[in-house]
Amino acid sequence: MGALVGTLVGTLVGTLLRIFALLSFAFVALVARANEPRIADLVTCPLASGQVIEDCRVGYLTVGTLNADKTNAILVPTWLGGRSADLLRYVGPDKLFDSNRFFIVLADSFGNGVSSSPSNSRKQPAAQFPQPALLDMVAAYRRLLEKEFGITRLHAMAGISMGGMQTFAAAVAYPELAGRYVAIAASPRLAPYDIVLWETQVKLHQEYLDCQCQRPLEVLAGLRFLLRGPEWQARNAPREKLDQVRANIANQKLNRDQAFNSNLQLKAMIDLDVARDDAGDLAAAAKRVRGRMLVVTGGLDNIVTPQPAREFAKLANAEVLHIPECDHGLPACSTATQYPAVRAFLAR
């Protein structure tokens, strides 16, 4: 009898473990699918240059619920090389974007390998892919929002780094698109420092594409190391780590797809000037902003110079949150200050 009971218990435990394993697998698969972007097929996307992206597709993720009158949507485009899933870390009731209150649309920028890019285009692969401007990306998001959700006006548009540059562009070119704009660690037009930095990266990527050799990648890795600044590196890469630093630089990896994708986005940022249609007059461009604006900058940003954003904010009567101790790592830096400030701004 005891042996029978033991067998039954063993069988029951084994069955429960298998059920638990299946449920765990199903949960993991569900989470993975939840982080996989959906794709909006826009067929073709005409660009301001006169070129056209064929088989135009835009990836996106959504979090939260769209209300009945469709007035609670926030659009958040990706940063340089980023994907919509990367933005999920900033979405939640206690994060930057409150998904209990708002319907958050995380949009993949052209050139990130999810939306139409040199790396995934069948008709226009690699160097054949046309060069979009940041505002062309915003135009594609507008079509996505209307096609997929019937949204013609946003509660807000917000972005970090390149996503914030798209936000600046939209605030000037499409003043009725949103009631609020939030630009974090971004610029309405790049300073000479930024332009030289990005142009240098473009040249190194192109050199790698031409030679298919390691040297340009090592130079690129060295450049990225220096961008964090001597104080940051003194704290995080002391003398005893020098061999490791050199090894990391020597082992830098990149493939052709990444080089083409990155150059597309870098060139789009270099080209950005929200005052281009105003003969370079930033004050005239700022007057076209209709929605409220919040500009967040870090005092130690060596990636995107904060001065143009602060100048534009003053001209546009925008609110400014300047955090002197933060670098381009906004908004991960000083979350106790940034998160409540951004949430409060969006909730007004």
- What's the length of the chain? 348
- Short-list 135, 127, 117, CA closest to 49: 135
| Strand 52-63, strand 103-107: pairing | antiparallel
pTM recorded for the entire structure: 0.89
Q: How far is it, in rounded angstroms, from Cα 198 to Cα 249?
A: 19
Half-sphere exposure at residue 7, Cβ-oriented, CA atoms within 13 angstroms? 4
CB 176 within 8 A of CB 153: yes
Q: How far is it, in rounded angstroms, from Cα 251 to Cα 248?
A: 5
| Parts of the chain belonging to CATH 3.40.50.1820 | 37-189+274-347
* Residue with token string 């064929």: 54
The CA-based angle 110-114-118, given to 5 degrees, is: 55
DSSP state of 74: E
The pLDDT, as a whole number, for residue 127 is 97
pLDDT digits (tens, 9 = 90+) for 88-144: 999 999 999 999 999 999 999 999 999 999 999 999 999 999 999 999 999 999 999
Q: How far is CA 285 from the centre of its chain?
A: 24
The pLDDT, as a whole number, for residue 19 is 41
Task: Name residues whose C-beta falls within 8 Å of residue 269's C-beta, 6 or more positions apart in sequence.
Answer: 80, 134, 162, 165, 190, 194, 198
DSSP 122-135: SSS-GGGS----HH
- Short-list 37, 336, 61, 78, CA closest to 184: 78
The pLDDT, as a whole number, for residue 174 is 97
The pLDDT, as a whole number, for residue 34 is 59
pLDDT digits (tens, 9 = 90+) for 260-281: 999 999 999 999 999 999 999 9
DSSP helix/strand/coil, 55: strand
Q: How far is it, in rounded angstroms, from Cα 35 to Cα 52?
A: 29
The pLDDT, as a whole number, for residue 72 is 98
* Residue with token string 């206690």: 94
- CATH of 37-189+274-347, picked from 3.90.1150.150, 1.25.40.10, 3.40.50.1820, 2.40.110.10, is 3.40.50.1820
Q: Where are the alpha helices (DSSP H) in the chain?
A: 2-34, 134-149, 162-173, 192-211, 215-227, 230-236, 242-250, 256-271, 282-287, 307-315, 335-347
The pLDDT, as a whole number, for residue 325 is 94
The pLDDT, as a whole number, for residue 109 is 98
Residues of the chain with pLDDT under 70: 1-34
Cis peptide bond N-terminal to 238, omega within 30: no
Which CA distances in Å does 24 have to 19, 27, 29, 36, 155? 8, 5, 8, 19, 37
The pLDDT, as a whole number, for residue 71 is 97
Which CA distances in Å does 100 have to 90, 109, 292, 348? 13, 25, 22, 15
